[in-house]
Amino acid sequence: MQARVGYLVGIAALAACAVIVHAGPSGGTVSGKVTYEGTPAKMKPIDMSKEPSCAKQHATPVVTETVVTGPGNALDNVVVYVSAGAPDESAPSQAVKFEQKGCQYVPHLLAFQVNQPFEILNDDQTSHNIHPLPKVNREWNRSQPPGSAPISEKYDKPEFIPVKCNIHPWMHGSFAVLKNSHYAVTEGEGGFSLAGLPAGKYTITAWHESYGDQSQDVVISGSETKTVNFVFKAKPY
């Protein structure tokens, strides 16, 4: 009798495990919002008169993108990523695109993984030179006249890399080279969601090119959603 009960309990336990294993997308989610407090410096209009072919693409002059904000004090262009607790992942083969359009970088911040290919395109009528300034990865500098093929590159070490064009000094962008696939870049209302995290303890880091970085620890035990919010202090300059 006891053996039979034990047998049934054993089968029930196995069935329960099977149910857990097959339940929906595995792992938990860390989501939240990135906002700022205080008053950010006003972004300055960019004078593109030295490059008429770009100036005429903007009905009103564009402003610098060092601090981009959204509704409800949202802070955009923040990379939120898992900096500890997740294993390094091999890179996807899908290339991500970085465009030079209207003498600006689109997107302003491009996030991708170590060894993931990225492609640089020149959609403008003028030459650009693409000059990322890494300190850990190799520094290179290539000219890309209009109509030339996309430049395909990759980086083999994690790093935040400023990108500039020497010909057009107002052009600034960033590459975020990350170790795993758990990352998001905030835009609009400043929300982010990192899904598919197996149970464990993680450090979530938020990085902004001007306001620095902040980290918070979070523990995922199953498939729950944990909320992690970041609030950056705005600088007046």
Partner 1 sequence: MRKMKHAPWVAGIAILLAAPLVVSAQQGEAHIGKYSGSVGPGRQLYYRYCWGCHGFRGDGNGENAPYLNILPRNFVAATFKCRSTPTGTLPTDQDLFNSLERGLVNSNMPSWIALTDQNRADLVAFIKTFSPRWKTEKAGDPIPVPPEPKLTLESIKHGQQLFQKLECWKCHGQEGRGDGPSASTLTDSNDQPIRPYNFAAGSRFKCGTTNNDIYKIFMSGVDGTPMPSFADVVKPDEAWDLVHYLRTLQVVHKSPELALWESTKEGADQVALSKVKGTPTGSGVNQ
Interacting residues with partner 1 (CB under 8 A): 50, 126-127, 129-131, 133, 135, 138-145, 148-149, 151, 166-169
Provide, rounded to whole angstroms, the least separation between the CB of residue 57 and partner 1.
18
Measured CA to CA, the distance from residue 192 to residue 111 in angstroms comes to: 14
Nearer to partner 1, 142 or 201 (CB): 142
Nearer to partner 1, 148 or 215 (CB): 148
Amino acid at 112: F
Answer for the pair 209, 174: CB distance below 8 angstroms, yes or no: yes
Answer for the pair 233, 222: CB distance below 8 angstroms, yes or no: no
Provide, rounded to whole angstroms, the least separation between the CB of residue 153 and partner 1.
9
Measured CA to CA, the distance from residue 220 to residue 75 in angstroms comes to: 26
Provide, rounded to whole angstroms, the least separation between the CB of residue 64 and partner 1.
14
Provide, rounded to whole angstroms, the least separation between the CB of residue 164 and partner 1.
9
Nearer to partner 1, 130 or 176 (CB): 130
Nearer to partner 1, 78 or 114 (CB): 114
Nearer to partner 1, 27 or 117 (CB): 117
Measured CA to CA, the distance from residue 188 to residue 68 in angstroms comes to: 9
Provide, rounded to whole angstroms, the least separation between the CB of residue 228 and partner 1.
35
Residues contacting 108, CB < 8 A, separation 6+ = 65, 68, 77, 172, 173, 174
Answer for the pair 72, 182: CB distance below 8 angstroms, yes or no: no
Answer for the pair 49, 56: CB distance below 8 angstroms, yes or no: no
